[in-house]
Structure 1
Amino acid sequence: MKQPNIVTFGGGTGSPVIIKSLIEAGFTNIKAISSATDSGGKTGSIRSDERDRVIAVCDLLRNLLALIPNHRHTKQLTTFTDLFSYTDGRNRNLGYTIYYALLEKYNNDFLSVQKHLEQLLSIRFAGTAIPVTLSPANLHFTTNSGKLFYGEHELDRQSMSKDSVKSIWLKPSVPATPLALEAISSADYLIYSPGSLYGSIIANFLPTGIIKALQQSSAHKILITNLVSTRNETHRFTPLDYLHLFRLYTRLDQPFDTIITPYLSTKEFNHRYPNIAHSYAQEHSHFLGWTKAQSNKLPSSIHVISANHFSITQKYSRLRHDPQKLGQILRKIISNH
């Protein structure tokens, strides 16, 4: 069977899970487009030291590591990836430092960096990790109260605020990576991963050229919604809210053809898992599940899949998308389409 061209959109948390789900389902032609504007944590330290003259590579690197086929996780490879996660006393991450050094060696050619790592690790990635832009930029956003914020890290800092995000843009305006545009153009399937809705998904729509590429794409577009809300981004969000927001930033009347949601409504989840619901409530978050009536408010042309595709971690009882369960769902969608 010919491998379909699959493109994922997202950041460094949700996209790796979707990539693993696709690999689990047997797909090995994945183009993982990642946001490049992170300004917090270890990445923020590096970008600050470099006076914002470099893109953020944290999401790109996490997506690349997720593209390692399951059967290739040898002891040597595990040792290497563990080394990548090491952080020194100056909050410098070794993995990012190595990746930036390789980018410099290969004149910003991330494909050559990926090939270098393949040779070094004696592996073949199940696809390509692509930064949405190679030009440094930062997110700016306003909230409903009219406040202006600078930097993606502010989305995280304001995550428990009732003052929700109203609009978001890049400064300066930057062009999309040509390979990202090519990937969208040739895609059979586009998958919008879970994660920060503004920082990981909408941020990928902002570089010049992405919207036009999406508008011209004939790919089947799949949205995988978040399991838990973020107070300043998706509080009390419904499937219709997702549709309105995606319409606004893609300028497409139908920005996604399939939406994958949890099989439980918020009320059902709270009744079944009261302790977990209470734990998330302390963070001003709630389970993002909907009734059939709420999902039916979407246009009939959008296919809604309500699925048991999450698991609960043993430690801290956190909700996570389950790669095996999600892989089965994605395999079914792609094989039946």
Structure 2
Amino acid sequence: MESSTRPDDQDPAGENDAESTFLDLTSCQLRDLASVELPPNLTELDLTANRLTALDPRISHLSNLKKLSLRQNLFNDDGVLPLSAWHSISSLQELVLRDNQLKTIPDVSIFKMLLVFDVSFNEISSLDGLSKVSNALKELYVSKNEVTKMEEIEHFHELQILELGSNKLRVMENLQNLSLLQELWLGRNRIRAINLCGLKGIKKLSLQSNRLTSMAGLEECVALEELYLSHNGIAKMEGLSTLINLRVLDVSSNKLTEVNDIENLAKLEDLWLNDNQITSLDNIAEAVVGSKDNLTTIYLERNPCASSPTYISALRQIFPNVQQVDSEMFA
């Protein structure tokens, strides 16, 4: 939602009063809010991309505030400490502290209605403190930090999105209670094995750029629609035949020599196999027999099989509705 609080942009008849409850101060290079009026009826305050180091105490009086973004500022742990005592804004539903200088998870225990919490792109080394975050939370973002262990997440029974990419995680654990989880993003970690702890409702899973050598462990994830496993050390396609709802499969930049175990994937639309060691297209038609009519995008470049001069025409014959082969688009 984009709107302005400038008087000349407001409807004189008052028909746009709803817009005046959103104050967007993005990229104003503010060091503080001394020059800014904070209307008492604000429900959203966006302070993204400024130079703030301290919280203006007037924010604590915005009792209608639902969304607060402090993204891309200069807040350290002490700078956000006042939040833990601002009971007047305890009905906050979205708090974004992304891209600051935090070293720990801040105390946000007073926000019992918090639905979205984002502390990505900081210097946080531990998830210690998450146990105090509301169990009503639906989206949690802690990407691009220094986290080494998945912990203090067991109480998030309502969580739908968990983003822990670009950390230092080695093991998938403590996920078993997150029965409503729809999206799990764990790219750019140090994970060696897939362990979803019994979860079966995941729809989007990313384990790109880890240390996987096998894709075993996905067999029961029958709700999966998007699976991203690129940039690992996987040598064999397996455990995929049960994933009948899969639309996107990315296994590029691995060590695959053949295309296997996707014959049943009738809903598959995007298949990324580039940068592997697949030598021949001989079995590709059989391998994708279930999805050959639905497949619209396939990447196979930088495999030995892509060196054939008839490579693209052969793929177009196999996939009658293909719209893209590698970077080449077709009408």
Calculate the TM-score normalised by the size of structure 2: 0.27
The answer to which structure has the higher helix fraction is: 1
Question: Which has the higher Rg, Structure 1 or Structure 2?
Answer: 2
Q: Structure with the greater relative contact order (CA < 8 A, sep ≥ 6): 1 or 2?
A: 1
Calculate the TM-score normalised by the size of structure 1: 0.27
